């Protein structure tokens, strides 16, 4: 197949195979969501990490999307602190809530362990003496144990963009039973292009034939069906990543116009840890008609702006969250703390202001 195909979400799911673990994964999600609903807890789906696009069926080579998973893993912790239950859907081996503090490179966990005892028979694993009173470790461990005891964190893994899309659809559909109490926080970095199963070579692509030409298809824009079909009344937050600051706001606005969800958080690659911009649609009433003019008297003049509040024009509101770019040594502030506080506030206000559920 030489022709590049344009996939709608519908044709994508009709032609690309579901991952083999999907049914089992969704059983777990169903049970988790039912438990949170019984406890009257809000649930947020956090997606995190980058998706891959394999180039061969027996995959040796693949394209990857940039993301360490810091945004998602850190945000998940702040959502849990704020009382939300979290479905953490992440790229295999990317950072995860709590364990992210002890990643192999920044804080190897074996350095926290010691061998206690003096003889071979009495030896057991202990804690390195100077780590026993480690305030950060204590804080992380306490919160981790609290969340475990509550059963408020459920983890799912993806690797390819295909795994991601199938999981996103199925998890969103399960979560939609919570309606406005569900939030969707889409921080994963998702491939824009992919190789459909039908175009993939079965075996490792051989070198020796000169340069490699691959034509990829566009990944369908799934935010639209997510808003219109998969979720019912959920609060949807997507991220927009750019490397050119000037594009952030226009691209975020375009996404809101196209998909109709609640918030886009714009971030620029190099400053993403220190500043983000929240973009949302605002209903702004049009200016009142000039004195003495009403709709009936306007004659052939251009139609006056409508007075009905249902016919207001759509405009946008932007607000920045910023923290100091050079964090103080020791107690490091994380921008996700402020992002989540702001989202919880907006989710509350949105629940209050939208019509009651039927
Ligand atoms: C983001 O913009 C995330 O904030 C980052 C986080 C990937 C920058 P890290 O994991 O990085 O902390 O290292 N995620 C969304 C990226 C994305 O693919 N957005 C799409 C786009 O920009 C829309 S869904 O077109």
Pocket test for ligand 1, best of 52, 78, 239, 271 (most atoms within 8 A of CB): 239
Nearest-CA residue for atom 14 of ligand 1: 187
**How far does the centroid of ligand 1 lie from the alpha carbon of residue 311, in Å?**
34
Residue whose CA is at the smallest distance from ligand 1 atom 6: 71
pLDDT of residue 2: 44
The torsion region of residue 264 among left (phi > 0), alpha (psi -120 to 50) and beta comes to beta
CB atoms within 10 A of CB 203: 9
Lookup: tokens for 193? 């292009």
Written as six digits, the tokens of 2 are 């030489």
| pLDDT, tens digit, 9 for 90 and up, residues 226-282 | 999 999 899 999 999 999 999 999 999 999 999 999 999 999 999 999 999 999 998
Ligand 1 atom showing the smallest separation from residue 48 Cα = 10
- The 3-class secondary structure across 252-272, one letter per residue, is HHHHHHHHCCCEEEEEEHHHC
Tokens standing for residue 76: 């998940």
Is the ipTM of this structure higher than 0.85?
yes
User: Whole-prediction pTM value?
Assistant: 0.90
Q: Are 289 and 298 in contact (CB under 8 A)?
A: no
Number of other residues whose CB lies within 10 A of the CB of residue 184: 27
Ligand 1 nearest-atom number relative to CA 239: 15
**Ligand 1 atom, smallest distance to 74 CA:** 12
Asked if 84 and 44 count as a contact pair (C-beta separation under 8 A), the reply is yes
Q: In this predicted model, what pLDDT tens digit does every residue of 54-100 receive, in sequence order?
A: 999 999 999 999 999 999 999 999 999 999 999 999 999 999 999 99
Q: Which residues share a beta bridge with 320?
A: 277
What 3-state class would DSSP assign to 184?
strand
The ligand 1 site (C-beta within 6 Å) comprises 67-71, 186-187, 189-190, 238-241, 267, 272
Going from the Cα of 302 to the center of ligand 1, the distance in angstroms, rounded, reads 44
CA 238 to ligand 1 centroid distance, Å: 9
Residue 13's CB: how many other CB atoms inside 10 A?
Answer: 18
How many CA atoms are closer than 13 Å to the CA of 263, on its beta-carbon side?
27
**Domains recognised in the chain with CATH numbers:** 1-103+147-233 (3.40.50.10300), 240-358 (no CATH)
pLDDT computed for residue 326 by the predictor: 72
């Amino acid at each position: 197949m030489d022709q590049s195909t344009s996939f709608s979400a519908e044709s994508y799911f009709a032609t690309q195979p579901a991952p083999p673990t999907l049914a089992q994964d969704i059983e777990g999600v169903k049970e988790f969501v039912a438990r949170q609903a019984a406890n009257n807890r809000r649930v947020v789906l956090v997606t995190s990490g980058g998706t891959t696009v394999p180039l061969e069926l027996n995959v040796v080579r693949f394209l990857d999307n940039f993301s360490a998973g810091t945004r998602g893993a850190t945000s998940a912790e702040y959502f849990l602190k704020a009382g939300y239950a979290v479905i953490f859907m992440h790229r295999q081996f990317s950072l995860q809530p709590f364990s992210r503090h002890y990643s192999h490179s920044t804080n190897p966990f074996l350095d926290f362990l010691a061998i206690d005892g003096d003889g071979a028979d009495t030896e057991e694993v202990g804690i390195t003496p100077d780590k026993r009173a480690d305030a950060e470790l204590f804080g992380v461990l306490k919160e981790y144990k609290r969340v475990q005891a509550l059963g408020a964190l459920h983890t799912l893994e993806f690797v390819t963009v295909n795994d991601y899309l199938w999981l996103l659809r199925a998890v969103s559909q399960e979560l939609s039973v919570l309606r406005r109490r569900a939030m969707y926080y889409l921080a994963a970095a998702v491939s824009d292009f992919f190789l459909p199963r039908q175009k993939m070579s079965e075996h490792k692509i051989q070198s020796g034939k000169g340069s490699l030409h691959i034509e990829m298809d566009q990944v369908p824009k799934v935010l639209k069906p997510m808003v219109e079909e998969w979720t019912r009344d959920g609060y949807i937050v997507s991220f927009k990543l750019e490397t050119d600051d000037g594009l952030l706001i226009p691209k975020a606005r375009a996404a809101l116009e196209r998909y109709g969800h609640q918030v886009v958080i714009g971030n620029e690659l190099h400053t993403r840890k220190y500043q983000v911009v929240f973009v949302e649609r605002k209903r702004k009433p049009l200016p009142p008609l000039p004195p003495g003019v009403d709709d009936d008297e306007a004659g052939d003049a251009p139609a006056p702006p409508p007075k009905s509040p249902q016919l207001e024009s759509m405009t946008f509101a932007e607000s920045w969250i910023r923290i100091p770019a050079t964090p103080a040594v020791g107690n490091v502030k994380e921008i996700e703390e402020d992002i989540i506080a702001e989202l919880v506030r907006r989710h509350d206000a949105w629940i209050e202001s939208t019509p009651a559920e039927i």
